[in-house]
Amino acid sequence: MFQSMPDRAKTTPLPVREAHGQPLVLVVEDEAALVTLLRYNLEREGFRVIDAANGEEALLIVKEQRPDLILLDWMLPALSGIEVCRQIRRSPEHRRTPIIMLTARGEESDKLRGLEVGADDYVTKPFSPSELVARCRAVLRRALPQAETEVLQYQDLSMDLATHRVRRGAKDVHLGPTEFRLLRFLLENQGRVFSREQLLDHVWGRDIYVEPRTVDVHIRRLRKAINIEGAADLVRTVRSAGYALDVNI
């Protein structure tokens, strides 16, 4: 028996940025009440939220979960916000991850130093939730498009994310939205096997429920679209485990 009912809330994060789902926001803040407030407002607006109470935790999460946006309190125990910011910026992967800092009113010097260190914007406490959400949106909009690779490839299969074009060899391939996301996910994790539940989480999103068998149907549609008669099947079925992008031997 495998994974009767996966608890999606706890699924281990994959080393993949989910470009299509809702943006993942990391809130770094030690004041619990504020975290609750932020979480409530962000989630209501369609963001996913994780939080960290201190700098070390924050850095760890950044590395593992790759948030799309970071809300960073400037006053933190131990590791200061500035230091956290600097360390995040040091890794080339997160060089472009937007950071919004939360500062107390009137800490002008903080703001300047924050912006110097690479924060993208700041919000002064106390702030209105709607303003904060608006800023998050604005910052994300500017940052997201450039976050990903432009062309994904596997053998003679290629997917251009900018033009949304998919080709197999010389043949142009048309995919529906779901097949497009599915193939994209598989291309971003070539060779790796995913269970139906994992695929649902990553391609469909954690929030909606669809029958796991639905994945089969979409895999079928994908195969039909990208496979060339005579050539090897690019989608591999691993019985009782799932599917992967790989050549069937």
User: Under the rule (CB under 7 A), what is the footprint of DNA?
Assistant: 1-2, 174, 176-179, 204, 209-211, 213-214, 216-221, 223, 237-242
Two tokens, residue 44: 């209501």
Residue 211 interacts, among a second copy, DNA, none and using kind-specific CB cut-offs from 5 to 8 Å, with DNA
- Minimal distance, residue 78 CB to a second copy, in Å: 25
State whether residue 102 is helix, strand or coil. strand
Query: How many C-beta neighbours within 10 Å does residue 228 have?
Result: 15
Q: What is the Cα–Cα distance from 26 to 24, expressed in whole angstroms?
A: 7
Query: How many C-beta neighbours within 10 Å does residue 172 have?
Result: 9
Which one of 14, 19, 22, 41 is in contact with a second copy (CB under 8 A)?
Answer: 41
* Sheet containing 151-154: order of strands: 151-154, 157-160, 165-168, 171-173
Q: Is 191 in the site for a second copy (CB under 8 A)?
A: yes
Query: Which residue number, 33 or 249, has a Cβ lying nearer to DNA?
Result: 249
Tokens 């994908």 — which residue? 222
Q: What is the Cα–Cα distance from 54 to 46, expressed in whole angstroms?
A: 25
- Minimal distance, residue 162 CB to a second copy, in Å: 5
Q: Is 244 in the site for a second copy (CB under 8 A)?
A: yes
The residues, any chain, with a CB within 8 Å of residue 84's CB and separated by 6 or more, are 28, 55, 58, 59, 72, 76
Q: Is 23 in the site for a second copy (CB under 8 A)?
A: no
Which one of 14, 19, 37, 228 is in contact with a second copy (CB under 8 A)?
Answer: 37
Two tokens, residue 31: 């004041």
The torsion region of residue 230 among left (phi > 0), alpha (psi -120 to 50) and beta comes to left
Q: Is 246 in the site for a second copy (CB under 8 A)?
A: yes
The residues facing 235 across adjacent strands are 245
Residue 191 interacts, among a second copy, DNA, none and using kind-specific CB cut-offs from 5 to 8 Å, with a second copy
Q: What's the DSSP call for residue 12? A: P
Residue 81 interacts, among a second copy, DNA, none and using kind-specific CB cut-offs from 5 to 8 Å, with none
Q: Is 130 in the site for a second copy (CB under 8 A)?
A: yes
Which residues bind to a second copy, rule: CB under 8 A?
Answer: 4, 7-8, 10-11, 33-34, 36-37, 40-41, 98, 111-112, 115-116, 119-122, 126, 128-131, 134, 138-139, 141-143, 145-146, 150, 162-164, 172, 176-177, 180, 191-193, 197-198, 201, 206, 238-241, 244, 246, 249
